[in-house]
Amino acid sequence: MEQKSMTALVSAFSRAYHSTQYAEKVFDDYLAKKVLTEDEYEQIAGNMSKGIGFFNPSFVGTQDEALQWIVDNQLAPSPLGRAAFAENLLENAVQIGAKQYLIFAAGYDTFAYRQPGWASKIQIFELDHPAVSGDKQKRMRSLAAEKPANLHYVHADFRENNWQSNLLSCAEFDESKISFCSLLGISYYLTKQVFSEMIEIISSFVPKGSSIVFDYPDEDTYTEKAGIRAKKQAAMAGAANEKMLASYSYVEMEKLLAYNDFLIYEHLTPNEITEQYFRKYNQANPEHPMTAFDNVNYCLAVKK
């Protein structure tokens, strides 16, 4: 299983589950289910529902109900909320001139394969570890006869800073064009120094008006003040050998961005995310409400 990222597979699973189980969706990744094999889907579902004692010790109900509780409360809020946030902002960015979409640590992201009409005029670059990227491409070949013409895969190991030369040597990438960069689910797994270097490198080759969108854990995330879900999430990532390493205060994040010529344009706290992205779903599913993940903020920053 080491050629695949477990956290990326679980993220795809939670998007698939949400898309197939609910009529009113926070975010509809209708291709996610096809990315996983049936065996993988069933295996993850089984492992998760068996883990209900870890997630919710007082839970009483069937295996299916246990799975639903775990997905709605623990697994899905982050992948769904941040994808809705990012793709919403991407559309705005394209309307005002962005020509390139860079998806860092793309995992099993399906945007390029379900891209709406407005995306056909942008170039999409998926940056990820060669092993994960190779696995993803193999899966996509069984799903679509051919790769979208505007999609380009770039090998990247973000701990090694080799990704920049790989991206710049990609013939379709143009440093003079405004880029929209999605860095979802990354800040947790990099040290502050490596994350800061990553923003610095991006700033060095994207023009003014380019933006980065990302989620990050606040300064209480790995302390006693953290919400119970944040603690379970950190334990789960550690068990998958993908240890969470950093958290930030708003002021700290603002400084890190300003130092690299980025200004915060939009910043949402968990309550604001729930209100903006989960409200319609919650109105339609009052018996299975969903709230944005505790201690995680969403941010859009634009290069000045």
pLDDT tens digits for 83-119?
Answer: 999 999 999 999 999 999 999 999 999 999 999 999 9
Contact in structure between 153 and 25 (CB atoms under 8 Å): no
Distances (CA, A) of 199 to 30, 79, 130, 213, 262: 31, 22, 21, 11, 9
Check residue 3 and give its pLDDT: 55
pLDDT surpasses 80 at 39: yes
pLDDT-derived band of residue 142, with 50, 70 and 90 as boundaries?
Answer: confident
Count of residues making up the chain: 304
* Mean pLDDT, residues 234-244: 71
* CA neighbor of 278 nearest in space, from 70, 78, 14, 29: 78
- Output the average pLDDT for the chain: 93
Sign of CA dihedral 224, 230, 233, 238: negative
Q: At what angle do helices 6-21 and 38-50 cross, to 10 degrees?
A: 90
Tokens of 261: 């010529």
pLDDT surpasses 80 at 244: no
Q: How many whole angstroms separate alpha carbon 227 and alpha carbon 82? A: 19
Check residue 298 and give its pLDDT: 98
Cα-Cα-Cα-Cα torsion 243, 245, 249, 254, nearest 10 degrees, comes to -110
Check residue 235 and give its pLDDT: 77
Q: pTM for the whole thing? A: 0.93
Q: Is 209 exposed, middle or buried (0-12, 13-18, 19+ CB in 10 A)?
A: middle
Give the amino acid at 107: G
Check residue 2 and give its pLDDT: 40
Question: For residue range 206-229, what is the model confidence (pLDDT) as tens digits?
Answer: 999 999 999 999 998 877 887 787
Bridge partners, residue 187, by sequence: none
pLDDT-derived band of residue 1, with 50, 70 and 90 as boundaries?
Answer: very low
Question: For residue range 162-206, what is the model confidence (pLDDT) as tens digits?
Answer: 799 999 999 999 999 999 999 999 998 889 999 999 999 999 999
* CA neighbor of 184 nearest in space, from 265, 124, 130, 107: 107
* Mean pLDDT, residues 289-298: 95
Check residue 255 and give its pLDDT: 97
pLDDT surpasses 80 at 245: no
Check residue 205 and give its pLDDT: 96
* Mean pLDDT, residues 244-260: 93
Proportion of the chain above pLDDT 90, given as a percent? 82
